[in-house]
Amino acid sequence: MRNTAIAVKAHRPALRLVSTKELSRADWLNVRKGGIGSSDAAAAVGLNPYQSQLELWMIKTGRDDALPKIDPSDETSPMYWGSLLEPIVAAHYTKRSGNRVRRVNAVLQHPNPDHAWMLANLDYTVVGSNEVQILECKTAGEFGSRLWRDGVPEYVVLQVQHQLAVTNKIAADVCVLVCGQEIRIHRIERDDALIARLIELERQFWRYVETDLPPPADGSDSAAKALQCLYPQDRGNTLDLTDDRDMSSAFADLVTVRDDIASREKIEAELKQRIQQCMGDASRARFETGEVSWKRSKDGLGLDVATLLKEQPELLSTYPLIRPGSRRFLVNV
């Protein structure tokens, strides 16, 4: 720890790129497009479970107009509750740890000109402690809490190591409120080997931004959404890839994988039905390694739109709703 602290002290502190105290959200987002922020770090290296490199590249290159936007005032959004509860989490961190904290109202930039694309927004700095200098506040709901079962999720570790790289600090505490009722505090020490690798991979991503060339899609839902937004319309032409061995190999692999999935889905259906037939009218069945439930859901109340429009066809022109079409990917062999 002492050697790390001495090495870090030899470096300059982070630069205050812009104050965020009176910065609008739109302007703040524009500033973030000028580099890789700490919350971008995991996505930039392909390790964010919620965002792909391709989606992040679209944002950084200004191609995000068609991407779904998170409304910070949407009370059903985790972002809304995360922002609302952040000061409460910080207050409980101080109560639990005894460490005082202070807000950082600025976008920070790495002091090394060679790493000028590395930006960071800190939730808080820890005041008067030699052991820890940064506080990162998180909230995890019922679904998100699963990612915290074994400690700090990888994407948050990368976020914090990015912050430590930009600020040249030695440690950060991550304080997470789990399911609205449990506070957990995790200490993350600076890892210079991990930071070096992180900077290398982030630099590779930033080259995609600088050269305006998209990174490869990774098979995630995020990448699928990005592709639909990048190429929403087809031109009706045919692209001849018969001489492209790489793409022809990808197509052949796709067909093989789809056949394999279809056969496995049939096996899954047979096994499921075998268990259901054995259960009969039982609600649950317990096995050596787990259990299943088979319950009837409550009856729902819907609207018979087809009959309504048949009897009152004028409603369609009075209350039209246009559903945007999307491109369908069909495989023919």
Give the rounded percent of residues in the chain with a pLDDT score beyond 90: 77
Chain segment 7-26, per-residue pLDDT in tens? 444 567 888 888 888 888 88
- Cα separations in angstroms, 56 against 35, 75, 176, 205, 315: 11, 24, 25, 10, 42
| Eight-state DSSP code of residue 329 | -
* Beta bridge partners of residue 174, listed in sequence order: 136, 186
Return the pLDDT at 167.
Answer: 96
Most confident of 31-40, 80-89, 285-294: 285-294
Helix boundaries (H) for the chain: 2-9, 25-32, 41-44, 53-60, 78-97, 154-167, 192-211, 221-230, 245-279, 305-311, 314-318
Contact yes or no for 40/56 (Cβ under 8 A): yes
3-state secondary structure of 140: strand
Return the pLDDT at 7.
Answer: 46
**Residue 231 to residue 229: CA distance in whole angstroms:** 6
Return the pLDDT at 25.
Answer: 80
The torsion angles phi and psi of 186, rounded to 5 degrees, stand at -120, 135
Return the pLDDT at 281.
Answer: 96
User: In the predicted model, is pLDDT for residue 218 greater than 50?
Assistant: yes
User: Residue 230's closest CA among 89, 42, 67?
Assistant: 67
User: In the predicted model, is pLDDT for residue 32 greater than 90?
Assistant: no
Helix boundaries (H) for 98-178: 154-167
CA atoms within 13 A on the CB side of 218: 19
Confidence of residue 1 (pLDDT cuts 50, 70, 90): very low
Give the rounded percent of residues in the chain with a pLDDT score beyond 70: 97
Taking the mean position of all CA atoms in its chain, how far away is CA 304?
A: 38
CB atoms within 10 A of CB 252: 11
Cα angle for residues 67, 218, 197 (degrees, 5° grid): 105
CA atoms within 13 A on the CB side of 296: 6
User: In the predicted model, is pLDDT for residue 6 greater than 60?
Assistant: no
Chain segment 54-105, per-residue pLDDT in tens? 999 999 999 988 888 877 788 877 778 888 899 999 999 999 999 999 999 8
Between 33 and 36, the higher pLDDT residue: 36
Confidence of residue 264 (pLDDT cuts 50, 70, 90): very high
User: Residue 81's closest CA among 216, 170, 177?
Assistant: 177
Chain segment 116-171, per-residue pLDDT in tens? 999 999 999 999 999 999 999 999 988 889 999 999 999 999 999 999 999 999 99
> Amino acid identity, residue 265?
E
Return the pLDDT at 11.
Answer: 63
Average pLDDT, the chain: 92
pTM: 0.83
> Amino acid identity, residue 222?
S
CB atoms within 10 A of CB 251: 14
Contact yes or no for 89/139 (Cβ under 8 A): yes
Tell which CATH architecture fits domain 2-226: Alpha-Beta Complex (3.90)
